[in-house]
Amino acid sequence: MINFIVCDDNEVIRKQVEDLIIKVMMKNNLSYKVHLYSDYNKSFIKMINQNLSNKIYILDIETPSESGINMARKIREKDIDSIIIFLTSHYELGPALLDEELMFLTFVSKFNNQEKRISSAINKALKMIGHKQAIRFEDRGTLYTLPVNDILYVTRDSVDRKCIVKTDYTEFRIIKTINEMEDLLGSSFIHTHRSCLANKNRIRLINKKDGSITFDNGDQIRLLSNMYKEEEDLRW
């Protein structure tokens, strides 16, 4: 699921941004949730601290209570993976943001071709999420950064309910559900059945006769479901 966190003190702007998000997400047929805020209050800070995957922040640079730039700094103290898009009624402030180490995606004028620019920024953010380069997670007390393309597949252990992440060289055990892993990994991974995600960029062969998948390193898994044997291929 994609989580959009929108903050703008102008109710009309908030509604316009929400409508654009809905339009883009329906067109892309993706699951999402929109979190709307009128200022950078305690509820907004609480949202920053929530462990949600695939956050896209759309932030007003200037509100009566707080600067969006200062809030972006607070976001980056806790989260380097989320995407930040700035909204501003002062487009001339944009170049100054380049001096900030905020790793933001873009800034959009509220009044200059707003609909097209915001839609474009959202679509760009979705592509970035879909082509995620690495994930960060904890396994037995150690924090890892793992390139997504090192992952072959993810399965769920039915005993301890952890997810087993299989790579070329080892495996990790992560306290997450399959659905949470799907959100974390992005569109490069497909369900082979309800308890397994496979990296479609690493699949070399799909054997419909025995329901198996062979990866480019020679590893093989079986599909626990027979549903794909009747299909021409796994569709993505």
Q: Are 145 and 81 contacting, i.e. CB atoms less than 8 angstroms apart?
A: no
Report the CATH fold assignment for 134-230.
OB fold (Dihydrolipoamide Acetyltransferase, E2P) (2.40.50)
Residues of the chain with CATH 2.40.50.1020: 134-230
* pTM, two decimal places: 0.64
pLDDT at 225 over 90: no
pLDDT at 230 over 50: no
pLDDT at residue number 192? 84
* CA distance linking residue 5 with residue 108, whole number of Å: 16
pLDDT at residue number 148? 86
Provide the mean pLDDT of the chain: 84
pLDDT at 186 over 70: yes
Q: Name the least confident of 1-15, 34-48, 130-144.
A: 130-144
Q: Which CATH class name applies to 2-130?
A: alpha beta
pLDDT, one tens digit per residue, over 17-60 is 999 999 999 888 777 899 999 999 999 999 999 888 789 999 99
pLDDT at residue number 35? 97
22: phi then psi, degrees, rounded to nearest 5: -60, -45
pLDDT at 201 over 60: yes
E strands, the chain, are 2-7, 32-37, 55-60, 83-88, 106-109, 134-139, 142-147, 151-156, 163-167, 171-174, 189-193, 196-199, 203-207, 212-215, 220-222
SS3 180: helix
Residues of the chain with CATH 3.40.50.2300: 2-130
- Which stretches of 91-174 are DSSP H helices? 94-97, 114-130
